[in-house]
Structure 1
Amino acid sequence: MTVTLTDTVHPSAADLLTGVLLGADFRREHGFWQRLISTEPFRRPGGGTPDERLRLAYDRLRILNRSLDSGARLAADPRALAALHEWLGPVDPALTTVAGIHYSLFLGSLLDHDAGTDRDLSDYLGMRRIGTFLCTEVVHGNDAASLETTAAYDRERDGFVLHTPHAGAQKFMPNTSPAGGPKTGLVAARLLVDGTEHGVRLFLVPLTDDAQALPGVRIRRLPARMGSPVDHCLTSFDRLFVGRDALLGDRRGIGGDCVLSSTPADRRRRFLTSIGRVTPGRISMSASAVGSARATLAVAVRYGGHRLISGARGTGRIPVSAHRTHHGPLASAMATVFAMSLLHRRALDRWERCTDEDRAEAERLVAVAKGWITWKSRAVIVECRERCGAQALLENNGMTELVTGVEGAITAEGDNLAVHAKAAADMLFAAGPAPGDTSPDRAGNTSADGAGNTPVDRTPGELADPRFLGRLLAAVEEIWFTRARKGALRAPHGDALARWNAASGAALRGVEAHAYRQAAEGYAEALATLPEGAARERLAELERLFALEWVARNSGDLLVAGLLTAEQVDELPEATEELIAAVAAHAPELVESFALPGELLADWPIAGPDYADAYDDPEGPWRKGPAEPSMPAAL
């Protein structure tokens, strides 16, 4: 069709909702990745041993790299890295892992630390050497600031001696084997100059050729990890010498007359600088979880529509999705998946535009989003797997790999619980009630919310009003952080651990409530961009379902606080059921808005109406025509 200046092109409801999920400029931001995963090299292969699947992941990594106009540009762009994870995550979790490590942690750190230097990156950009990142150790994970690998400055040779002092200091889980080709790593080690420690720094260290570890480097494969077959290893160093230029970043004061500062504040700053790629990494983990949840939900909705079962007497066969017990959990999952997508984009946008003044707040939102999204992704994927029965347990139907893949995201870039605990502490002790505001409400709660000092709006409202539901979500956050502060105040004075233990349970609930509120605000912002019509109606239904289910979980607290009436609490189940029915009625259209390539869905048999053909047997008795009538047995 030729479009003239007088033609008006009206996007479909699915297209408008795709813009909500992926951003207004989704064709530019996501189109490359949608096309890439539709090509033959990224189609799902049948079977394969773990080693064969690992080789495939590295082969795909090189194909991906050849498809890029610039690996450095990808490494420097958190939005592009997030899109990579969002689309590759459902296709090949192992590929997504090694690609994220190479581009974000390895190349990204090199670009961050060595900006303006003449370091030659051509081997890594051309994938002649694959990059990896070695930070955590056997006994130092979330407390990586305490890692024990050392890099002692050798004045005579003007370089550094890397050493692993004991078994607990072995680098834990980097992909350092020769699988996939020669590897080079960025090694986080404690810098020692003349016996004085100067904090954790990164060192560029060749690790393997294409067959084995290099001298001074010891690499052992870890036991197989459930799910994606990445070559996770234990890596140690036996007094390995590397040149001065192996040290990333500022080398002033090392080996010269200048004195390198070694105050605790400087050591902490150097560690945080060394792991600066953690925040973009958390965004990528959220993206991978969002993409995997969307793909799994799409398969479950499609399968539920064409899996036929016997209906009530006289009604013939009906799709299993006709039953409330089947479509109800998927409708709730749909509201959650949209919320996950909106919170992911909200955190990504906030990180991209943050300044030095609000960087800490943006980092905290990214951390909260990462934990909440990956946990919710696991719940959605497990629910969808159950709704698809035994067939979803088979690897060829794609879901089992995504169940285990999201477990990696829950742990990567900081275990979720530790990440949320830090956010809880920041929000709990950095704000507190407004000065002089100590008057409790009916529940004994002060009126400061969990992230600041803004009083919660206690105006009565109706359950059909999204603004009222938004106020309730803010109140849930306030309630839990107020409880956390009270718990801390009851603990023995001067006992910091007891104080935190008394507050942490409620504070973590406050962080969860904060994530719900941020996701709900994402819904409200997205609705404001949509014109009147079907897309807006669908998103409004999802928004209300998401909010009502959270309000229902916290209805007792809201009732005691005087924010809900007893009648409203009684109305919650019926209001929720009405929304579940509305969302379920449009589930296939909502799945269409995920914009998943047909090639991707075609590789999962249960995503298509002819799923039984995957089990056809060319030698089966049904292939031999009608059976001959049998003769009665002789008496």
Structure 2
Amino acid sequence: MPSSTSEDRDELIRLVFDGTFDNVHADLRDTVSDPLFAPRSGLDATQQGRLAYDRSRLVHARTGPAQKVLDDPLRLFALSEWPSLMDTTTLPLLMSHYNLCLGTLLHHSAGRDDLDDIIEELATMRSVGMLMVTELGFGNNAAAMRTRAVYDPLADEFVLSTPDPQAQKFMPYTGIQDIPKIAVVMARLVVQDTDRGIFPFIVRICDAEGLLPGVRATALPDKPGLALDNGVTWFDGVRLPRRNLLGGAMGRLMPDGTFESTIPSRRRRFLTSLERVQPGRLCLASALVAAGRASLYIALRYARQRKTFAPGESDVPVIAYRSQQTALFRALADVYAMTFLVNSTKRAFVRTGVSDDTNHLISLTKVVSSWSMTDVLTTCRERTGAQGMFSANRIADYIAMAQGVVTAEGDNLPLLAKAGNELLAHPPATDTGTPEPQGRSLTDPSFHRELTRFRQSRLTDTTAYAMRREIRGGSSLFDAWNHHINAALTLAESRGRELALEELHTAATQATTPRTREALGLLAALYGLGLTERDAAWHLAHGTLTPHQVTRIPTLLEALSTRVLPYADLLVDGFGLTDELLRAPALRPGLTDFHA
């Protein structure tokens, strides 16, 4: 078999980064090579948090104008991927600052010049920005929040207040209180004793001297592997000038208290005010998939170097074991599938921006990629043994980051439930004929996609029919939905994974070098077979797999993994990473100094 060439490697980098590595990613990779990102040990949580702020400022200083980053979604997504490989805490700091705070401010202040001073302060990162939505007692039910901003027409100001402990803002970055910070705070606008719905307000939280008058905050306990300075925050009569209301397209408040809006629905106004959450979800997915790539780079390089015993041999590299190959190469297939799914979703967002279809796709992408990468990271941690437990080797910290991503900017389960409901109401138009198993190859990704789509079609039909029957029989809408929510979750997850298989298979067929095409083709077969394995019993019961095919699946998974082995180095070379960049001791055999 011919060895890989630089042309093969360049082709994989082109595919992994969707043709944007040189003009979107390369300088960010160079930035995180700075000595400031070198591993540090012996720091407590506050020191780690302060270091993350310093690193975030360095990235900001070298990235270029903040508004330009926000104008280029691909640049924003790349900004989520590279710094977090070196310091996971920079992910929420940078994304909250750029996307959620400054992005919301710019989006809802279009045509205004009275906020230029605040925009400039954030754009230069003299103050760090954040978004405060979630309240302690309401979690994902943000529409029920109770923080109030009451308009005082005599002073032409709002009075921002937290009415009770359950309404405290939960987990904003208010634990370190001597760094200047500005927040976009979601609160109920109350005018003349009338609740006008939830709107964003600009609130200065603290300066170099500490919390500002009327703002109270208490740091939350430490979170293993993530040094974010989360807190709970209470507002006690904070006075805000009228300009601090970000009404945008949602509504306009006149000095006399007259409120005008072209959007009659309070829910629609609320969703409009939080539109930046959608690209934020995609940023989180991008970052976690990048962490999955880095983890596999480390785990596979380590498996090549780490020697162990073997029957009849003095020692062999760990990767020689079939058990290691099957686990790591299935994880590698997952990473490539999710990389191409994320790339496809990025392209959709760049084309259309925030829309119902794109939001649905982003939700599916965020959920299936974060769950897949959680499994990948755990596999890589275990397959690097004791080395995988050290923060200096990155993977353990990525696992903690994954837990945050699963929950942040829309917890995975509510997002998936909403996507499942949308699929039940509007199933994709597909050919859902019953696949014929005879004569079909279990290494053909197209066959696995047919199987997955057929199962989705059956699940959609049976679930929708059962819900309609229950409602006609007198059940409430909630009861009917609740009885079938698990089926809806299964449907949506299956749809997301099917889309990932399609993107991986497409990338394999479109690769321009034979060796790259062969390597990605094997991963597509491995990923598709893994999807079918999950539902093999269902397919056997429905006649879309034969008993012989079902019994062959484990053997085929091992055989495909063995065939991936000659391409393993090439496939991780496609991630654009280096030992020098990651600085992981596990990549340097015999290293005893973990501080180097």
Correspondent of 1:417 among 410, 413, 416: 413
Maintained 8 Å contact 1:483/1:503: no
* Conserved 8 A contact 2:11-2:513: no
Structure 1's 212 and 532: CA in aligned 2 closer, same or farther, altered over 3 A? Answer: closer
Q: 1:476, 1:36 → 2: CA distance?
A: 46
Is 1:57–1:94's contact at 8 Å kept on the other side of the alignment?
yes
Q: Distance in 1 between matches of 2:120 and 2:253?
A: 29
Confirm or deny: 8 A CA contact 2:122 2:129 kept in the other structure: yes
Residue 296 of structure 1 aligns to a residue whose secondary structure is helix
Which residue matches 1:488? 467
1:139 to 134, 137, 145: 137
Matched, 1:579 2:560: yes
Q: How does 1:435-514 map to 2 (within 5 A)?
A: 450-452=427-429, 454-456=431-433, 458=435, 460=437, 461-489=440-468, 491=470, 492-514=473-495
* Structure 1 residue aligned with 2:30: 35
Q: Does structure 1 conserve the Cα–Cα contact (< 8 Å) formed by 2:160 and 2:239?
A: yes
Which residue number in structure 1 is paired with residue 215 of structure 2? Answer: 217
RMSD: 2.1
TM-score of the superposed pair, with normalisation by structure 2: 0.93
Equivalences for residues 150-229 of structure 1 within 5 A: 150-179=148-177, 181-229=179-227
Paired residue for 2:298?
Answer: 299
| Alpha-carbon shift at residue 11 of structure 1 (Å) | 5.0
1:384 lines up with 2:380 in the alignment: yes
Match of 2:584 in 1: 604
Instruction: Give the Cα separation in 2 of the matches to 1:453 and 1:533.
Output: 31
Q: Secondary structure at the match of 2:207?
A: coil
**Structure 2 residue 218 is the aligned partner of structure 1 residue 239:** no
Query: Does the residue aligned with 1:203 lie in a helix, a strand or coil?
Result: strand
Instruction: Give the Cα–Cα distance (whole angstroms) in 1 for the partners of residues 176 and 532 of structure 2.
Output: 52
Which residue of structure 2 lines up, in the alignment, with residue 369 of structure 1? 365
Of the structure 1 ranges 117-126 and 285-294, higher mean CA displacement relative to structure 2 is found in 117-126
Instruction: Give CA deviations for 1:599-631 in whole Å, capped at 9, x if unaligned.
Output: 223x21012233456499xxxxxxxxxxxxxxx
Aligned to 1:525: 506
1:286-365 aligned within 5 A: 286-313=285-312, 315-354=313-352, 359-365=355-361
Count of residues in Structure 1 that have an aligned counterpart in Structure 2: 583
Aligned to 1:443: none
What runs of 5+ residues in structure 2 fail to find an aligned partner?
Answer: none
Aligned 8 A contact 1:151 1:160 in 2? yes
Show structure 1 runs of 5+ residues with no match.
Answer: 1-9, 432-449, 617-635
Q: CA deviation at 1:325?
A: 1.6
Q: How far apart are residue 259 of structure 1 and its match?
A: 4.7
Structure 1 residues 176, 254: closer, same or farther in 2, change over 3 A? farther
For residue 536 of structure 1, report the CA deviation from its aligned partner.
0.2
Quote how far apart the aligned CAs of 1:400 are.
1.7
Contact 1:161 / 1:240 at 8 angstroms: preserved in 2?
A: yes
**Aligned equivalents of 1:609, 1:180: Cα separation in 2:** 42
Distance 2:353 2:58 in 1: 36
Structure 2: which amino acid aligns with 1:604? A
Deviation larger for 492-501 or 266-275: 492-501
For residue 13 of structure 2, what is the aligned residue in structure 1? 18
Q: Indicate the larger mover: 492-501 or 400-409.
A: 492-501
Deviation readout 1:199-255 (Å, 9 max, x if unpaired): 110011111111311111111111112221111011111111110000013463433
Q: Does structure 2 conserve the Cα–Cα contact (< 8 Å) formed by 1:330 and 1:584? A: no
SS in 2 for 1:207: strand
Match of 2:545 in 1: 564
Alignment-derived partner of residue 283 in structure 2: 284
Q: Which moved more, 1:128-137 or 1:387-396?
A: 387-396
SS in 2 for 1:139: coil
Supply the distance in 2 between the matched residues of 1:180 and 1:399 (Cα, whole angstroms). Answer: 31
Q: Distance in 1 between matches of 2:353 and 2:196?
A: 28
In the TM superposition, residue 29 of structure 1 has moved relative to its aligned partner by: 1.7
Matched residue type, 2:376: V
Give the residue type in structure 1 aligned to 2:11.
L
Q: 2 CA distance for matches of 1:187 and 1:555? A: 48
> Contact conserved, 2:89 with 2:227, CA < 8 A, in 1?
yes
What is the rounded CA distance, in whole Å, between the counterparts of 1:230 and 1:41 in structure 2?
18
- The answer to whether the Cα contact below 8 Å between 2:432 and 2:454 also exists between their aligned partners in 1 is no
Tell me the secondary structure at the aligned position of residue 316 of structure 2: strand
Quote the Cα distance in structure 2 between the aligned partners of 1:233 and 1:254.
34
Alpha-carbon distance between aligned partners in 1 of 2:178 and 2:59, rounded to the nearest angstrom: 14
Shift of 1:177: 4.0
Larger Rg: 1
Q: Normalising by structure 1, what TM-score?
A: 0.88
Q: Displacement of 1:594 after TM fit?
A: 0.9
Map 1:262-281 to 2 at 5 A. Answer: 265-281=264-280
Query: Residues 262-284 of structure 1: CA distance to partner in whole angstroms, max 9, x if unpaired?
Result: 99x52112211111111011001
> 2:29 aligned with 1:45, yes or no?
no
**467-476 or 138-147, which moves further after superposition?**
467-476
Structure 1 residue aligned with 2:74, among 75, 79, 95? 79
Q: Which residue identity does 2:344 align to in structure 1?
A: R
Match of 1:624 in 2: none
In structure 2, distance between residues paired with 1:144 and 1:374? 22
Q: Offset of 1:574 from its aligned partner?
A: 2.6
Question: Shift of residue 105 of structure 1?
Answer: 0.4
SS for the counterpart of 1:239 is: strand
Which one of the candidate residues 109, 114, 138 is aligned to 2:109? Answer: 114
Question: Which deviations, in whole Å up to 9, do the C-alpha atoms of 1:548-570 show, x marking residues without a partner?
Answer: 11112212222232322333223
Higher mean Cα deviation, 277-286 or 382-391?
382-391
The 1:257–1:288 alpha-carbon spacing in structure 2 relative to 1, beyond 3 Å, is closer
Quote how far apart the aligned CAs of 1:108 are: 0.5
Aligned-residue sequence identity (percent) comes to 33
Match of 1:4 in 2: none
State whether residues 178 and 208 of structure 1, in contact with CA within 8 Å, keep that contact through their aligned partners in structure 2: no
Contact between 1:178 and 1:213, CA under 8 Å: does it hold in 2? no
Aligned residue identity for 1:464: T
Using the TM superposition, name which of 532-541 and 496-505 deviates more.
Answer: 496-505
- Give the direction of change, closer, same or farther, for the CA distance of 1:512–1:611 in structure 2 (3 Å limit): farther
1:536 aligns with 2:490: no
Task: Determine the C-alpha separation between the residues in 1 that align with 2:256 and 2:595.
Answer: 71
Q: Is the 8 A contact 1:227 1:405 kept in 2?
A: yes
Query: Is this contact kept in 1: 2:177–2:206, CA < 8 A?
Result: no
Structure 1 counterpart of 2:57: 62
Q: Deviations over 1:336-395 (max 9, x none)?
A: 000110111111111211278xx2111101001101111111111111111111222122
1:487 CA displacement: 4.0
Go from structure 1 to structure 2 and tell me whether the alpha carbon gap of 1:257 and 1:149 turns closer, same or farther (over 3 Å shift): closer
Paired residue type of 2:38: R
1:593 aligns with 2:567: no
Residue of structure 2 in register with 1:398 after alignment: 394
Q: Taking structure 1 as reference, are residues 464 and 296 closer, same or farther at Cα in structure 2, changes over 3 Å only?
A: closer
Describe the shift of the 1:55–1:257 C-alpha distance in structure 2 as closer, same or farther (beyond 3 A): closer
Separation (CA, whole Å) in 2 of partners of 1:47 and 1:513 = 43
What does residue 623 of structure 1 align with?
Answer: none
SS at match of 2:200: strand
1:553 is matched with which residue: 534, 544, 547?
A: 534
Do the aligned partners of residues 413 and 111 (structure 1) sit closer, same or farther apart at CA in structure 2, a change above 3 Å counting? same
Give the distance between the partners of 1:178 and 1:228, measured in 2 at CA. Answer: 14
